Amino acid sequence: MRNPAARLGVIAGLTLLTACAPTPRPIDASAPRPVDPLSTPPPRPGVTPDAAAPTPACSPEGIRIVELGVSAAMGLRAMGLDLVNCGNRPYELRGYPAVALRDADGDPITVRVIPGAGPITSGFDDPPTALVLRPGERAGAALIWRNLVTDATVVATDGVELDVAPVAGRPAYPVALDGPIDLGNTGRLGVSAWKRRDPAPTTEAPAPSAPIGPPSLATTPVNPL
């Protein structure tokens, strides 16, 4: 049998350790949590999270072009564009979006538009293919730019109004933005070729999608296509 005095000593020691242990602090549910900058688009100035632009009407040629949001990584931006055939006849499409920017005063911004975005980054340089979109089908493209200021003597440029034509020579339509296209003073804007978003109608069962791997740590943002 253990000595009663020894047992009392052990109990007293445990009591002392418990008293000295730090008390856990309550979790503040309202405190901001860390955000992964590679997987979350940067906050767009002046826009609340629940703000939503109204869906534009179908154009006379039977299409609608809208922005799908911006992905960002270390100063590199990629904005998704969506073109839907909202008409009642097939719509032929081949090439790159023709884009134009204006500043807050509505004045045109001089910008070098680069098909394929090769000098800006890789991964958006697939060549154009001929598409025929049936009513309800969609095509996607991307605008790519870097938010860089490399020359203090050149004023940084923010495009706050965007016009997009499906291809050069066709009518252009205003596309609502949820924030500025912050080009810095690079003066360059890349565009990818239109690519079909929806698969062509088929009677075969769809193939299982490939598993999604871990996020890349490269500087190229998520491709919105």
| Block residue for tokens 């920017």 | 101
pLDDT tens figures, 22-48 = 444 444 443 333 323 323 344 444 444
**Confidence at residue 75, expressed as pLDDT on a 0 to 100 scale:** 82
Residue 93 CA to residue 130 CA, distance in Å, equals 6
Residue 184 CA to residue 201 CA, distance in Å, equals 43
Backbone angles phi, psi at 192, to 5 degrees: -95, 160
What sign does the dihedral 62-78-97-49 (CA atoms) show?
A: positive
pTM, rounded to two decimals: 0.65
Lowest mean pLDDT segment, chosen from 130-134, 141-145, 194-198, 209-213:
209-213
Q: Which residues contact 27 (CB under 8 A, 6 or more apart)?
A: none
Most confident segment among 35-39, 165-169, 198-202, 217-221: 165-169
